[in-house]
Structure 1
Amino acid sequence: MNTKFKQFFKNKWIRWAVVLIAAVLIFLIGLYISIYLGVFGKLPTQSDISSIQQEQATQLLDKNEKLIGKYYIYDRQPVKFEDFPNHLINALVATEDSRFYEHDGIDNISLIRVFVKNLILQDKSAGGGSTITLQLAKNLYGRKNYALFSMLINKFKESIVAKRIEEVYSKKEILTLYLNTVPFSDNTYGIESASRKFFNKSVRDISINEAATLVGTLKANTYYNPRVHIERSKNRRNVVLNQMVNYNYLSEDSLSYYVNQDIELEYRSFNHDVGLAPYFRAEVKKQLEFILDTLKTPQGEKYNLYKDGLIVHTTLDYKMQELAENAMEEHIGELQTAFENSYGNDGPWETNEKLIENVLNKLPQVIAYKAQGLSKNQIKDSLNVSRPIALFSWKGDTVKNVSTIDSLKHYLKFLNTGMLSVEPTTGAVRTYVGGIDYRYFKFDHISQSERQVGSTFKPLVYTAAIENGLEPCTYFSLNKVTYTDYDDWTPRNSGSDEEDPYINYTLENALSNSINTISVKVMESVGIPKVLEQVKKLGITKVLPNEPSLALGVAEISLKDLTGAYVSYLNDSRSVKPYYITKIEDKAGNIIATFEPEISEEAAFSDYTRQVLLEIMKSTVNKGTASRLRSTYGLSNEIAGKTGTTQNNKDGWYVGLTPNLVTITWVGNDNHSIGFKSTGMGQGANSALPIFAKFYQKLNRDSEFNSFTKAKFENPSQKVLDDLDCEPTKRDGFLKRLFKKKNKKKTFN
């Protein structure tokens, strides 16, 4: 026997083969030991593994704890094992690691297959021989590039880490960690985030087909992305279903049923620029960054908005927000077409060269060119170079080859909007529409913008007047007055100049019909200082113009501040500060901050004044400038309100008050030089009011909102009813008409 053995080794090729195998084994053992000892980088210990901390997205929830959006670097949203349906676990194990419950982290049979086929036979189709635990090790700690044997070194490192993971965690815990960390398509990490992104539902609710689709993407999440490659994804899903049959997780009879089903996506991006309420999410993010600067973790460190998995509870109503956005899109899309058609080929965004040049000069690109010393012609040539640019359109976005100048002209023409709805007793924001499309128009028209408020300021003037003793049935003449101490300023009413100067209106009739001449006279009767004082009590603290035109709304006020002021007519005469966040929790559910409504401690005016103004604003809806809510849109809700239009039709406003909700809408062009072509189109009743109207039509169709749509205003006191009980107009007598000047000149008292 020994002789035969010696003769066998006399063959030099056999000797070399044995030496080679021995050398390879010694090399592999040496390499493994060196990796184990940390020569190629420190390996995580069992202690490190037992305290795994993964970066987690901060979740933003609505008032009913429905997910609105997330803040993240990696879109990851962990859940518990109990949330995973059995068919998801079965699909995963059958496809990725059929012997998962039998091995200790390393599937030796698979590794031998990989070693022989991949490393020796160079068969790249042999697979990686990876287990779920090995994949988890890779997901948790990543891989590094080494000059030589990079794959082998990483595999050895992962095998050591996988063994340690199996020693620390149970199989259920390993599956939980894996499904919470594994990358899916579209830069999504974790099964919960993937389920919500691709099917708009929690993982606990996904079907067998949906689970198989998501598991199928793990082989190559870009190649099998169901959003981009639906047929590939379907074929891969069917492979997963077949694997489930092979390992007895699914019956053969069920297979034909499932493989013939289409993949039905309900894709919902949590990209910061798209999805529901992007302007709200951006505003909350600003507030959170400030708030988190004031908070510390139990370890004394600052919270990280993008990594710490915080849970932010907000005041927003998800479903109501959807209706608000739909109402805005329906109206502004139609209004934009009418707006452009009214100008034809003479739109200022095309013909007003000075306007275009002024806007161009403010572009960072142009400022940079000037800093480089480029001439005016050189800059113009650069701006005229065409390139593919995505352009917003209400009919659908397009990509066109256009120049910077062409792109600027395109965006100059768009009307924009702001819409805010708050509950009056708290200021809790229920809807927040900061603009028409956050992708292209980042400017927030609720919190960042200040625009002239037009006739929506008039109720504040009338409030000051009544609070200071003016009787509701006081009559004021329509007659124009020229104020000589203000450059002969003559307030005029919109519409015909042929008004009867001998007709006198009550306060109710004047305000509900938004009579400019009378609003100035009312301010004159009470005095500008008292109006300014009254406005300040309503929470509007900015410095306003100290001049008679203030009565017509020349003041620029943010939509948010105006909303907070109008709330007082439904909130015991107290203004509020609209607020967005109710509480913040850490990822374990511990409350780290809470927030309460900010309500003015003192009433801004008497209850009598409040009831009078509310009755007058009801008249605005029932028979005044907002009457199309009844006639055109058929709303029978209890509504009070006020329309507003500014000079040259630059801004359209509507303030809508219902018993349990205050909603203000604004419409206009971001460039103050561009207004509506006509008052008929630009007046608040036409430009802004329809958003409110369509919003309430949608609310009325959903019984979930009955507490808003069927609510009733309080009954006014008998004194208020008596004091408003007078003829709406009164004509001057003969003698007064005889001596009355049609256009009186005077100084403003």
Structure 2
Amino acid sequence: MAKKQATKKEGNTLDFSKYIRWFWMLFSFGIVSIILVFLLASWGFLGEMPDHTVLENPRTNLASEVISSDNKTLAKFYFEDNRTPVGYEDLPKHLVDALVATEDIRFYDHSGIDARGTLRAIFKLGSGGGASTITQQLAKQLFTKQVSKNKFGRVFQKVKEWVIATRLERQYTKEEIITMYFNIYDFNNNADGIRSAARIYFGKEPKDLDLKESAMLVGMFKNSSLYNPRPHRNPVGTKNRRNVVLAQMAKYELITKEVKDSLQQTELDLNYSPESHREGLATYFRANLAEFMKEWIEENPKPDGEKYNLYNDGLKIYTTIDYRMQKYAEDAIAQHMPRLQAEFDNQNTPKLNPTAPFLELDKKEIESLMRVGMRRSERWRHMKNDLGKSEKEIIASFDKPTQMEIFAWKDGKYTEIDTVMKPMDSMRYYKSFLRPAMMSMDPQTGHVKAWVGGMNYKHFKYDMVKQGKRQVGSTFKPFVYATAIDQLQLSPCDSLPRTPITIEANKFGNPEPWTTKNSDGRYDGFQTLKAALASSTNTITARLMNEIGPQPVVEMAEKLGVEQEILPVPAIALGTPDISVYEMVAAYSTFANKGVYNKPVLVTRIEDKNGTVLYQFKPESRDVLSEEVAYTTINLMQGVVQSGSGKRLQDTWRVNQQFTKKMLTGYPYELTNPIAGKTGTTQNQSDGWFMGMVPNLVTGVWVGCEDRAAHFKTITYGQGASTALPIWGLFMKACYEDETLNVSKDEFEKPANLSINTDCTKASKQDDASDEDVSDDIDIDF
């Protein structure tokens, strides 16, 4: 019996030993399998793995950054990723604390994998929270973004993330991992990385974020598509998620309970500032800059021969644009144009003008104009080139009602209206809008400080600073005067008769006699040259042209940077050539720069993402005029502001009250410093100009419609002194109020050995009397 029990006990022991062996065999197999899986993953058998060189330099698309002269980001060039990296030192402590408290509290204690978190996730089947560390999440963002749809695939992907995470921990410090994670994450709404997110959601740099703003952005790490703070998305859910982050920070004593409770009661307080190619500051300048960069990239390949990518390579483009001046320029236009447009619309109602917005055109002429516009439209280009539609189909499409957003001024501000309209009707609608253009430049350096090619790039893409060329009217007259002073050594105080003059046929190649008239109808007496330019007396300008001839004036314009071909005929004296704002500002800057022309500069240098300088600009300049002639021409143009059509810039309150209320936004400007300038108004008031200068800033403004047949009916409203000058006045007033800009209030520097008399205080009463009645309300330019 005892033997039988012993045998049974021995059998039970053998059976138990068998189970133990199986257990250790299975356990060992599991361990080996896990090790093998990790080895296979590290060897790349579970999918491509990054090697050490890729880990050292993770490939991410970086937006190229456009930087202003005062070191602010104007915009970025990007296709998909609007990403500009920042350093750890640019991340506020509470932002880092919020991330660690919410995503990975043991971040500083593990080496890429949190064993406790992993075991918790396994035993609770994920219900107790995820096991991913910040390092694993970075690995996923950098190298394993595509989430597998099946469970086995997700397990293998997780293994890859673990392997990459441990490698990242060996490769980088904890601070570098944190920084990379903030820089790589997509916060939605083109907010790629923490810098874009801070700028887009709060209008700040990351270092300026406060605690609740940091908490909101960290809360978005859970799911930025779900926790999207924009009003029409999920602001309530985003606020709740932010409050979870604040609670986590309080839980780990990174903030006090009182701070948590206080901040949880606050709103998100967004300052949503989208960054897109069609929105933001300096949109027209950026479009021109893109063309500049396209040419530069073609001519300057990388050392390996590959071309730079403007949208992915993270270039830093340092521009001459001053962020503050650019904003003041755009603000000036936004203040003046709605009021100007309102008056234009009042004068072009169907009752007052059946052909609105056009004047002097019959039905057939308008139809022809619209057909030309149709063929030049983006719609025509897209349907013909991209969709391959026939001409008949394209024409038919212009008469089919279409859902669209249109531009409008409402209560003095820009808005968009959702409507259904025929494309042909929308074309006519847009042709009714007055459009502005403005450029400001430092004459001594050639640096362009502000560039506004229109009032809204999204709806009016054609840049009227450089692309658009329009008749310049009387703003061309200083070129005539400068040439005459240079050739004939005239003084601003010399007098000429106002009487009519006819330049004979065949003289200067003129095919028939050319007779000028003065728009004020006065032809009596004499005027000094200074008074004549101030009142834009056409007959005196024609007399100067008769003496010097048109060819020297054309050559002068070319030296001053005018690229447009100008026919050497006498009529150019009154401003018939089409010239861009860009060219006019550069030309006038030559006078302010003592006769030296500087080609406008847009970019000072270009760097790659590592800070290596790839381009450094070289100034292009040339001597055009003597210092004496340049100063004398400036002195002549000072008369325009002292006693001519620009006088309202320095008036306190002398303009007709009713007219002022409608048109002269911001009046009185009360600019007491020395200013030289010239207004210009072309035939039928189709174009209004004002060119204004102080010693260290030259600014040109143009206003007009797309088609010359759309314009104010009378000169009272259509003159350059009413359409363009107010924008200049508003801009300069803002610049002077900002003392950090150091815009000059000084006199223009007089040459040491000036031989030309510019002091006209001793001019005869007869000379001066002809200018006494010049009205501020009537610009006598043509």
**TM-score (normalised: structure 1):** 0.88
Q: Of 57, 60, 64, which residue of structure 2 is paired with 1:54? A: 60
> Secondary structure at the residue paired with 1:399?
strand
> Secondary structure at the residue paired with 1:35?
helix
2:177 is the counterpart of 1:162: no
- Seen in structure 2, the aligned counterparts of structure 1 residues 31 and 532 have a Cα distance that, compared at 3 Å, is same
Name the amino acid aligned to 2:633.
L
For 2:259, the equivalent position in structure 1 comes to 254
- Seen in structure 2, the aligned counterparts of structure 1 residues 109 and 431 have a Cα distance that, compared at 3 Å, is same
Q: Of 464, 472, 476, which residue of structure 1 is paired with 2:497? A: 476
Name the amino acid aligned to 1:404.
P
| Deviation readout 1:206-240 (Å, 9 max, x if unpaired) | 11111101101111112222234332222111110
| Deviation readout 1:575-612 (Å, 9 max, x if unpaired) | 11111111222223232321133221x2x223332222
For 1:588, the equivalent position in structure 2 comes to 610
For 2:665, the equivalent position in structure 1 comes to none
Alignment of 1:514-529 (within 5 A): 514-529=536-551
Work out the CA distance in 1 between the residues paired with 2:445 and 2:674: 20
For 1:493, the equivalent position in structure 2 comes to 518
For 1:670, the equivalent position in structure 2 comes to 706
> Secondary structure at the residue paired with 2:74?
strand
Work out the CA distance in 2 between the residues paired with 1:255 and 1:467: 75
2:204 is the counterpart of 1:201: yes
| Larger deviation, residues 380-389 vs 510-519 | 380-389
1:644–1:653 contact (8 Å) kept in structure 2 = yes
2:399 is the counterpart of 1:384: yes
Work out the CA distance in 2 between the residues paired with 1:361 and 1:697: 42
Work out the CA distance in 1 between the residues paired with 2:709 and 2:337: 20
Work out the CA distance in 2 between the residues paired with 1:110 and 1:6: 39
- Seen in structure 2, the aligned counterparts of structure 1 residues 519 and 397 have a Cα distance that, compared at 3 Å, is same
Name the amino acid aligned to 1:628.
R
Work out the CA distance in 2 between the residues paired with 1:250 and 1:731: 77
Name the amino acid aligned to 1:517.
T
> Secondary structure at the residue paired with 1:575?
strand
- Seen in structure 2, the aligned counterparts of structure 1 residues 383 and 49 have a Cα distance that, compared at 3 Å, is same
2:317–2:605 contact (8 Å) kept in structure 1 = yes
- Seen in structure 2, the aligned counterparts of structure 1 residues 23 and 668 have a Cα distance that, compared at 3 Å, is farther
Percent identity at matched positions? Answer: 36
Q: CA deviation at 1:80?
A: 1.7
Q: CA deviation at 1:670?
A: 1.9
2:625 is the counterpart of 1:618: no
Work out the CA distance in 2 between the residues paired with 1:239 and 1:146: 29
1:458–1:553 contact (8 Å) kept in structure 2 = yes
For 2:86, the equivalent position in structure 1 comes to 79
- Seen in structure 2, the aligned counterparts of structure 1 residues 161 and 731 have a Cα distance that, compared at 3 Å, is closer
2:141 is the counterpart of 1:135: no
Q: CA deviation at 1:436?
A: 0.8
Work out the CA distance in 1 between the residues paired with 2:257 and 2:425: 60
User: What are structure 2's unaligned runs of at least 5 residues?
Assistant: 1-8, 652-667, 770-782
Q: Of 318, 334, 341, which residue of structure 1 is paired with 2:346? A: 341
Q: Of 712, 722, 730, which residue of structure 2 is paired with 1:694? A: 730
- Seen in structure 2, the aligned counterparts of structure 1 residues 492 and 245 have a Cα distance that, compared at 3 Å, is same
| Deviation readout 1:267-306 (Å, 9 max, x if unpaired) | 3222111111111122222222322334354656443322
1:349–1:356 contact (8 Å) kept in structure 2 = no
For 2:457, the equivalent position in structure 1 comes to 438
For 1:418, the equivalent position in structure 2 comes to 437
Name the amino acid aligned to 1:348.
A
Name the amino acid aligned to 1:555.
P
2:759 is the counterpart of 1:711: no
Name the amino acid aligned to 1:165.
L
2:67 is the counterpart of 1:67: no
Q: CA deviation at 1:166?
A: 1.4
Work out the CA distance in 1 between the residues paired with 2:272 and 2:74: 14
Work out the CA distance in 1 between the residues paired with 2:130 and 2:504: 88
2:189 is the counterpart of 1:183: no
Alignment of 1:292-307 (within 5 A): 292-297=297-302, 301-307=306-312
For 1:720, the equivalent position in structure 2 comes to 757
For 1:232, the equivalent position in structure 2 comes to 237
> Secondary structure at the residue paired with 1:424?
coil
Name the amino acid aligned to 2:207.
R
| Larger deviation, residues 143-152 vs 470-479 | 143-152
1:561–1:577 contact (8 Å) kept in structure 2 = no
Q: CA RMSD of the aligned region, Å?
A: 3.1
2:189–2:274 contact (8 Å) kept in structure 1 = no
| Larger deviation, residues 628-637 vs 681-690 | 628-637
Name the amino acid aligned to 1:435.
G
For 1:530, the equivalent position in structure 2 comes to 552
- Seen in structure 2, the aligned counterparts of structure 1 residues 26 and 454 have a Cα distance that, compared at 3 Å, is same
> Secondary structure at the residue paired with 2:579?
strand
For 1:644, the equivalent position in structure 2 comes to 680
1:504–1:730 contact (8 Å) kept in structure 2 = yes
Q: Of 449, 453, 456, which residue of structure 1 is paired with 2:475? A: 456
2:144–2:161 contact (8 Å) kept in structure 1 = no
| Larger deviation, residues 530-539 vs 688-697 | 530-539
2:356 is the counterpart of 1:353: no
User: What are structure 1's unaligned runs of at least 5 residues?
Assistant: 733-749
For 2:106, the equivalent position in structure 1 comes to 99
Q: CA deviation at 1:565?
A: 1.1
Work out the CA distance in 1 between the residues paired with 2:514 and 2:162: 85
Work out the CA distance in 2 between the residues paired with 1:71 and 1:686: 37
> Secondary structure at the residue paired with 1:224?
coil
1:412–1:671 contact (8 Å) kept in structure 2 = yes
Aligned length: 716
Work out the CA distance in 2 between the residues paired with 1:69 and 1:113: 45
Work out the CA distance in 2 between the residues paired with 1:326 and 1:438: 15
Q: CA deviation at 1:730?
A: 5.2
- Seen in structure 2, the aligned counterparts of structure 1 residues 661 and 368 have a Cα distance that, compared at 3 Å, is closer
Q: CA deviation at 1:460?
A: 0.3
Q: CA deviation at 1:111?
A: 3.0
Work out the CA distance in 2 between the residues paired with 1:598 and 1:421: 18
For 1:111, the equivalent position in structure 2 comes to 118
For 1:89, the equivalent position in structure 2 comes to 96
| Larger deviation, residues 332-341 vs 360-369 | 360-369
1:644–1:654 contact (8 Å) kept in structure 2 = yes
2:529 is the counterpart of 1:507: yes
> Secondary structure at the residue paired with 1:291?
helix
- Seen in structure 2, the aligned counterparts of structure 1 residues 111 and 407 have a Cα distance that, compared at 3 Å, is farther
2:331 is the counterpart of 1:331: no
Q: Of 459, 483, 486, which residue of structure 2 is paired with 1:467? A: 486
For 2:655, the equivalent position in structure 1 comes to none
Q: CA deviation at 1:731?
A: 11
Work out the CA distance in 1 between the residues paired with 2:470 and 2:177: 56
**TM-score (normalised: structure 2):** 0.85
1:339–1:677 contact (8 Å) kept in structure 2 = no
> Secondary structure at the residue paired with 2:229?
coil
Q: CA deviation at 1:187?
A: 2.7
- Seen in structure 2, the aligned counterparts of structure 1 residues 365 and 314 have a Cα distance that, compared at 3 Å, is closer
Work out the CA distance in 1 between the residues paired with 2:10 and 2:348: 106
2:250–2:257 contact (8 Å) kept in structure 1 = yes
2:399 is the counterpart of 1:399: no
- Seen in structure 2, the aligned counterparts of structure 1 residues 223 and 349 have a Cα distance that, compared at 3 Å, is farther
Work out the CA distance in 1 between the residues paired with 2:13 and 2:694: 101
1:491–1:517 contact (8 Å) kept in structure 2 = yes
